[in-house]
Amino acid sequence: MNRIFAETNVGRKNLAFGIALFLLLGIVTGIPLTIDFFGGSIFTPDQYQTWKVVHGYGVFLSFINYFFGLVIDRVALTKQYKEISSWSILMAGLFGGIIRMILVLSSALVELGIYVSLVETVLLTLGTVIFLQGQMRERDNQALKASEIRTTLHENKVH
């Protein structure tokens, strides 16, 4: 387990949540789809399509959380911004994966799904914007270092 969480601090929760979400929505919800694929349908055609969407979207959100957890600790942000971004992505996965699945199972997706989608979109956007700020800051720092190195080399060459 230490190899999975190696060199992660802030992203540890995203890694764990991504793995758990994949196991739940990737494997557990994938089993009924596989049974249907082999000819033993347990769903109506409409239920099958809805279940496929929940399954696919859950896997997508699990991958986002997992890979976000791998990289967030390497971004040039303060710990506070890393935490805000990390929790935003995790909560987007919770709303988009777990809560959406609960709404589908309780037949309440039509009434409440738009609110879940709104919260999920806001959280994903917030986490992504903060993450991209860190990426741009890191790129600017690298450009500044490269400029300083070129200036130092040029000064040494002139003397």
DSSP string, 17-32: HHHHHIIIIIIITHHH
Output the average pLDDT for the chain. 84
CA distance 154 to 159: 9
Residue with the bigger pLDDT between 15 and 74: it is 15
Residue appearing with tokens 């399509």 = 49
pLDDT of residue 45: 81
| Average pLDDT estimate for 121-136 | 90
Domain ranges of the chain: 12-158
Whether the predicted pLDDT of 1 surpasses 60: no
pTM: 0.78
The percent of residues above 90 in pLDDT, for the chain, comes to 31
pLDDT tier at 4, thresholds 50, 70, 90: low
Residue appearing with tokens 């990390």 = 86
